[in-house]
Homo-oligomer: A and B are copies of this chain.
Amino acid sequence: MPSPVEFYFDFSSPYGYLAAHRIDDIAARHGRTVNWRPILLGAVFKTTGQQPLTAIPLKGAYSKHDLYRSARLHGIPFEIPSRFPLATTGACRVFYHVSDRDPALARQLALAIFQGYFSGDRDISNPDVVADIAVNLGVDRDGLNCALNDPALKDRLRSEVESAMARGVFGSPYVIVDDEAFWGADRLDHVERWLATGGW
């Protein structure tokens, strides 16, 4: 069995959102599954001294334009949310709670959270909003509420972020194929070619 493709992203990353719509299909075409791994880029940005793309003069205006253009190209519904960026700690915790029990459902959940934010303008920094999205997909509300009050889930997320940083993840999306790293939605063509050829 070839190892899964590692897909790191931040729920408030618009390019992460675009990649989320494509990564499973790309991997599947080459007999791979995808390990979805939401992380918190805020912690990473403290190390790299970066700021959100859209906050940078000139680059910000271009990025917005490029996001809409890229979304249209791939037929992905997209709208810059009215609150951007926002905290996604709660969303990540809900994700890992589900992921540890049912990875396939967690992938569905991740897409639903992303869509809620980037095509429904929902406030995914609000734990109740994320819980509603999860419950709507069949997640047990009481079990989820218990988990969200359990320090173990906080530790679970913290260790995911730490291990991502230890692997050099500094942006979203960030894809690792057999130890080969690719940053950015615009590197998915290289990801696909790497999967097809085994590297060059």
Q: Which residues of A contact B (CB under 8 A)?
A: 44, 47-50, 56-59, 61-62, 65-66, 69-70, 72-73, 165, 168-171, 181-184, 186-187, 189-190, 193, 200
Residue pair B183, A62 in contact (C-beta under 8 Å): yes
Contacts of A182 in B (CB 8 A): 66
Partner of A56, one of B50, B184, B187: B50
Closest approach, in angstroms, between the C-beta of A45 and any C-beta of chain B? 10
Residue pair A190, B57 in contact (C-beta under 8 Å): no
Copies of this polypeptide in the complex: 2
Residue pair B62, A57 in contact (C-beta under 8 Å): no
Residue pair B168, A62 in contact (C-beta under 8 Å): yes
Contacts of A200 in B (CB 8 A): 69, 72-73
Cα distance A73–B199 in the bound complex, in angstroms: 9
Q: Which residue of B lies closest to A174 (CB)?
A: B62
17 A-B pairs with CB atoms under 8 Å apart are A44-B58, A47-B57, A48-B58, A49-B56, A49-B57, A50-B56, A58-B165, A58-B170, A59-B171, A62-B170, A62-B181, A62-B183, A66-B183, A69-B190, A69-B200, A73-B190, A73-B200
